Chain A
Amino acid sequence: MNDPIYQTDDLIAQDIDAYLDRHRHKTMLRFITCGSVDDGKSTLIGRLLYDSKLIFEDHLAALEADSKRVGTQGQEIDFALLVDGLAAEREQGITIDVAYRFFATEKRKFIVADTPGHEQYTRNMVTGASTADLAVILIDARKGVLTQTRRHSYLAHLVGIRHLVLAINKMDLVDYDQAVFERIVADYRHFADRIGIGPFTAIPLSGLRGDNITRRSDAMPWYAGPALLEHLETVNLDADRMQEHPFRLAVQWVNRPNLDFRGFSGQIASGWVRPGDAVRVLPGGQTSTVTRIVTFDGDLDEARAGQSVTLTLADEIDCSRGQVIARADQPPEVADQFETTLVWMAGEPMLPGRPYLLKLATNVVTATVTDLKYQINVNTLTHEAAKTLGLNGIGVCNLSLDRALPFEPYTDNPDLGGFVLIDRLTSATVGAGMIHFALRRSHNIHWQAIEVNRAAHAALKHQQPRLLWFTGLSGSGKSTIANLVEKKLHALGRHTFLLDGDNVRHGLNRDLGFTEADRVENIRRVGEVARLMTDAGLIVLTAFISPFRSERRMVRQLLPDGEFIEIFIDTPLEVAEARDPKGLYRKARAGMLKNFTGIDSPYEAPEEPEIRIDTTRLSAEEAAEIIVQAMTT
């Protein structure tokens, strides 16, 4: 406890103005600490806060009292209690979320993201690491490199952290033995090489005793490197790296106080900008020249990565939120299909084919996972085949967006390559991802221009193609009514085709079962086939339970406006169950059928179907007549 106390510089008392001037020029480092409770992580952070004098007397008094009551260090101060936050967590004795701590030295301000090391909290670590320049990976000197060490290192590397510090803690418990330290470093080097981690800094220390925390410890004269805090104070910052990259700014907001001023506000993602610079606005590609860099404190001569500014351009070109202003001769790529690494953060599994919202820089678009190539086991780092990603799952997958966006690979520019996925119904953030590269076909290969197009097909048949999408519970009467509708349309000379469970499940979708993921894929395939048939000019009828709103919406979006007709066969569960034409409800109730819609799997009724049929008031014949009327008038 006799380490130098950083902030009580004599200068504060003697010359506060000189002190303040010096502190104006401090820089900022964000880092993350990874390790479990047992590694002494909280103790280490508590020690950093304590030694940089950020613990006040009243906090300290509470800490001393708490230490005696619930601490794990006997009568000694338990630094871990300083950083365990919420009451519920304190009772459980673990930290379960990301907490941010602050401390400062003469040279830098530090923001520490403290995340738990338990396996189920990959999500928290990725979140904390996403804004960090550096990761401190804690290792218990007695235990060496463990599975969780590899997991934390992999995640830090995955999120693109360039500076790794291997903090080999509890050296006091191995008699400050150099051989122990070197063996662990060699083990780690072997592992780091395998996953592509470059240089790292290994520091032997003791959080509990304060060795090599704020200054080099006399207990380990064999160690010639910096103390942890010295290293944190001098390591290069990521923001500096981004200044060397070409200029990019994602427009957040168009500033229009009056007709004479139109400014584009945003934070510079990379590079520098000066008035007179030629810029290109993506994805449109129009070019112009920067005229002013406007700020509250007056116009600037130049601005650089990290600054929030407002630019004005010489020309009246189309530019709004979501577009990227970039250096004209080195613009970013624009694409709508990517290979990415995706980290899943929700209890509901990720389903390929299901549309999600994707937020990338200042854009929000619709995206679907088109191909989950493999899942990564964070413990063994092996690739495993998977159909879905569960909570904390990490996979490499292809994404398809509903429109093309300017982007950069994540490793080049995190601001233009990192994205989150949002559930369209709950609005929750369900996943986070990093773009590797654009798929070639998305920017190089154009659709085959077809001479005999869908309009020609339809014209020959003298009809408007349509997709009549029947949805409703099992036993609601979908197939019966759809059959009648097809007969009537056929009699009227229309070219039709009915897709239902019988002709699809036995062939095209023979490989699919009834899990949520398989149901989504089933509907996706039916939707694609139906679309091809409408391209051929047909009136297609489908009769599938199709219980999820998002899949029905996905199919709707495949078709031109007005061609998707959602027909809700509205039969209450009690009625459908009483009819039970195939005896399926009985089996489901008996537990013999799993994932049965209405029993142990939800049905999401359409909110605004084009046609709603109440089968408790209409016969199948009447219902079919209503639908045919609606189609032919």
Chain B
Amino acid sequence: MKTLTHLEQLESESIHILREVVAEAETPVMLYSIGKDSAVMLHLARKAFYPSPPPFPLLHVDTTWKFQDMYRLRDRAAREAGMELIVYRNPEALARGINPFDHGALHTDIWKTEGLKQALDLHGFDVAFGGARRDEEKSRAKERIFSFRSANHRWDPKNQRPELWKLYNARKAKGESIRVFPISNWTELDIWQYIHLEGIEIVPLYFSAPRPTVVRDGLILMVDDERFPLQAGEEVIPRSIRFRTLGCYPLTGAVESTASTLPEIIQEMLLTTTSERQGRAIDHDQSASMEKKKQEGYF
């Protein structure tokens, strides 16, 4: 008798989910956002299908405003996994020059929410893997592993299928698509421990280093390129910072930190007192905002 550890169980469950989708879906795709959760999900996919490469492409719905370090890792990670990388940028957002400085909430809406729908429709993907976890936010605690979306990508929380045992019903009604979350049952600590144990490469921005920063609306923002417009009285100051979550650089708050190794990051996380999504501007508006965004089609 040898009991599986919690990470072995989580890994095995995720691999089982990935294989079920590949066995039952027609054209699956993996949404790859380059963050630590995506890194773990991609690593699990490589394990699930070894010695074959994962039999689906990676899709990055780009906003053109990610950190430079993220773009560098994205291209390398796809190459190492032997997978096709599809990068989609919403042409409307590109044409209208939608950006986080001038357009606020519209930025996420048009680049990400609309961009994702367009990319899925364009390529006819019927199942999209996403790296969301149930511990991230209250409305996600009730999210299924197989989450059904109507033809216009809306999520109806009242109309989701019961999921029993390990039996996932991947059959779609006409026009429906499925978002599948293989790491639903992982917590932030599980993710970090697994990255540490497995030696998974993550974006260097998770590790502390001196970086050029500006403090705005209580968030420490990193000046990642020359597109960052300084407001009156603002000054770029080097600070020792790192990120607990990664998104568009003008919307992602850093924390001051000296944690430069994985054990130090985990240590900091365990001793810290604020939740990881707090660094993201998107969730703050109202307590049910994530749920609203999901109904509209945001991952």
Interface residues of A (CB under 8 A from B): 7-8, 12-13, 16-17, 19-20, 23-28, 56-59, 62, 66, 83-88, 90, 97-102, 104, 108-109, 111, 123-124, 126-127, 130-131, 237, 239-240, 243-244, 252-253, 255-257, 261, 263, 265-267, 294-297, 304, 306-308, 310, 321, 345, 357, 359-360, 362, 414-415, 418-420, 422, 426-429, 432
A124's contact among B162, B185, B274, by CB below 8 Å, is which?
Answer: B162
* Pick from A24, A57, A253, A362: contact of B5, CB under 8 Å: A24
The bracket for how many chain B residues form the interface is 35 or more
Q: Do A308 and B5 touch (CB < 8 A)? A: no
The residues of B that contact A265 with a CB separation of less than 8 Å are 19, 48-49
Across the interface, do A427 and B171 meet the contact criterion of CB distance under 8 Å?
yes
Query: How many angstroms from the CA of A414 to the CA of B291 in the assembled complex?
Result: 34
Q: How far is the CA of A86 from the CA of B6 in the complex (A)?
A: 28
Cβ-defined partner of B165 (8 Å) among A104, A108, A237, A414: A414
- Return the chain A residue nearest B174 by Cβ: A427
Interface stretch, picked from B108-116, B218-226, B232-240, B261-269, is B261-269
Q: A239-B3, A240-B3 are in contact. Are A28 and B165 (CB under 8 A)?
A: no
Pick the contact of A295 from B4, B47, B185, B292 — CB < 8 Å? B47
Asked if B78 lies at the interface with its beta carbon under 8 angstroms from chain A, I say: no
Measured between alpha carbons, how far is A565 from B169 in the docked complex, in Å?
A: 32
Alpha-carbon distance A186/B13, docked complex (angstroms): 40
**CB neighbours of B15 from chain A (8 A):** 267, 308
Residue among A85, A108, A237, A255 making CB contact with B142, cutoff 8 Å: A85
Question: Does A131 contact B264, Cβ atoms closer than 8 Å?
Answer: no
Q: Of B7, B9, B19, B139, which one neighbours A24 at CB under 8 angstroms? A: B7
A sample of 7 more A-B contacts (CB under 8 A), given A19-B267, A90-B288, A308-B12, is A20-B196, A28-B5, A86-B138, A109-B6, A240-B3, A243-B2, A265-B48
Asked whether any CB of chain A lies closer than 8 Å to the CB of B152, the reply is no
- A306-B4, A429-B161 are known contacts. Are A58 and B278 too (CB-CB below 8 A)? yes
A28, B9: Cβ atoms under 8 Å? Answer: yes
Q: Does B122 contact A (CB under 8 A)?
A: no
* B77 lies within 8 A of chain A by Cβ: no
Q: Which residue of B lies closest to A322 (CB)?
A: B23
B7 CB contacts on chain A under 8 angstroms: 24, 26
Given contact pairs A26-B6, A267-B12, A418 touches B167 in the complex (Cβ within 8 A): yes
The one of A8, A23, A267 that contacts B271, using a Cβ cutoff of 8 Å = A8
Residues of A within 8 A of B291 (CB): 86-87
Task: Knowing A28-B6, A99-B142, A252-B19, say if A240 contacts B1 (CB, 8 Å).
Answer: yes
Given known contacts A98-B142, A307-B8, is B50 in contact with A359 (CB within 8 Å)? Answer: no
Please report the C-alpha to C-alpha distance between residue A243 and residue B267 in the assembled complex, in whole angstroms.
35
Q: What is the count of residue pairs linking A and B with beta-carbon distances less than 8 angstroms?
A: 201
**Residue B95 at the A interface, CB < 8 A?**
no
B161: which A residues are within 8 A, CB to CB?
428-429
Which of B7, B164, B263, B274 gathers most chain A CB within 10 Å? Answer: B164
Instruction: Check B278 against A253 for contact (C-beta < 8 Å).
Output: no
Q: Which partner residue on chain A sits nearest B146 by CB separation?
A: A429
Q: Which A residues are in CB contact (< 8 Å) with B158? A: 88
Which residue of the partner chain A has the closest CB to B162? Answer: A127
Given A86-B142, A86-B157, A306-B4, A12 and B270 contact (CB-CB distance below 8 Å): yes
* Chain B positions within 8 Å of A19 at CB level: 267
With both beta carbons as reference points, the residue of chain B lying nearest to A57 in the complex is identified as B273
Question: Does B216 have its Cβ within 8 Å of any Cβ on chain A?
Answer: no
In Å, the complex CA distance between A41 and B288 comes to 22
Are the CB atoms of A27 and B12 closer together than 8 Å?
no
In the complex the two chains form, is B20's CB within 8 Å of A252's CB?
yes
Complex partner residue of B164 from A17, A104, A252, A420, CB under 8 angstroms: A420
- Alpha-carbon gap, A13 to B259, bound state (A): 13
Q: Which residues of B contact A296 (CB under 8 A)?
A: 46-47, 50
Q: Which of B178-229 contact A (CB under 8 A)?
A: 184-185, 187, 189-190, 193, 196-197
B123 within 8 A of A: no
Is the C-beta of B16 less than 8 angstroms from some C-beta in chain A?
yes
A241 to B292, CA, bound (A): 43
Q: Which residues of A contact B20 (CB under 8 A)?
A: 252, 362
- B273: chain A residues within 8 A (beta carbon): 56-57
Closest to A420 in B: B167
On whether the beta carbons of B271 and A420 are closer than 8 Å, the reply is no
CB pair A25 B5 closer than 8 Å: yes
B51:A261 contact, CB within 8 angstroms: yes
Instruction: Determine whether the beta carbon of A427 is less than 8 Å from that of B172.
Output: yes
Contact assessment for A415 and B165 in the assembled complex, using a CB-CB cutoff below 8 Å: yes
Could you say which residues of chain A place their CB within 8 Å of the CB of B167? 359-360, 418-420
With a cutoff of 8 Å between Cβ atoms, the chain A residues found around residue B68 in the complex are none
B263 and A308 contacting across the interface, CB-CB below 8 Å: no
A17-B263, A253-B22, A415-B165 given; A27·B50 CB < 8 A: no
Judged by a CB distance under 8 angstroms, whether B231 is at the interface is: no
- 10 tightest Cβ-Cβ pairs between the two chains A and B: A28-B6, A87-B288, A427-B171, A308-B15, A56-B275, A296-B50, A296-B47, A130-B164, A257-B52, A109-B6
Q: A228 to nearest B CB, angstroms?
A: 19
